[in-house]
């Protein structure tokens, strides 16, 4: 009896590899290291739905891919200083840019008045 999930598993594996930027050249040796038995061209054909693989080999490919994906650093949002260091030729000062109504004032100067929240409380009320 044919396994009805083979084509969908291949498609989803291909999507996961593409999103993670993992190539077949990276996946295949790791899959072999885990005990995989399919040749590189067989895996390539499987990923293009031109060849069926046994369930155990498909699951081993998925396992190898998931381990490689888990080793990747997660994407992170950059801080402004990181963006500035990536673009050192770009000049930007506080106060430039657009201002959406109702979203507060844009600072006009890098200096600001100190606030009671800038220093930790002292004394018995702390």
Q: Which is higher by pLDDT, 76 or 41?
A: 41
**Can you give the residue ranges of every domain in the chain?**
6-70
Cα radius of gyration (the chain):
27
Contact by Cβ (8 Å): 24, 43? yes
What is this structure's pTM?
0.62
How large is the average pLDDT for residues 37-45?
98
Tell me the C-alpha distance between 121 and 125, whole Å. Answer: 8
11's enclosing H/E stretch is helix 6-20
Whole-number Å distance between alpha carbons of 3 and 18: 24
At 109, the pLDDT band (50, 70, 90 cuts) reads very low
Percent of the chain past pLDDT 70, that is, above it, reads 70
């Amino acid at each position: 009896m044919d396994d009805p999930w083979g084509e969908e598993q291949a498609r989803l594996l291909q999507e996961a590899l593409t999103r993670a930027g993992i190539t077949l050249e990276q996946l295949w040796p790791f899959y072999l290291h885990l005990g995989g038995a399919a040749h590189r061209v067989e895996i390539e054909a499987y990923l293009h739905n031109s060849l069926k693989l046994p369930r155990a080999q498909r699951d081993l490919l998925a396992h190898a891919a998931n381990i490689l994906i888990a080793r990747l650093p997660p994407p992170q949002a950059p801080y402004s200083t990181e963006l500035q260091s990536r673009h050192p030729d770009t000049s930007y000062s506080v106060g430039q840019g657009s201002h959406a109504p109702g979203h507060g004032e844009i600072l006009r100067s890098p200096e600001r008045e100190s606030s009671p929240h800038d220093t930790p409380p002292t004394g018995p009320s702390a």
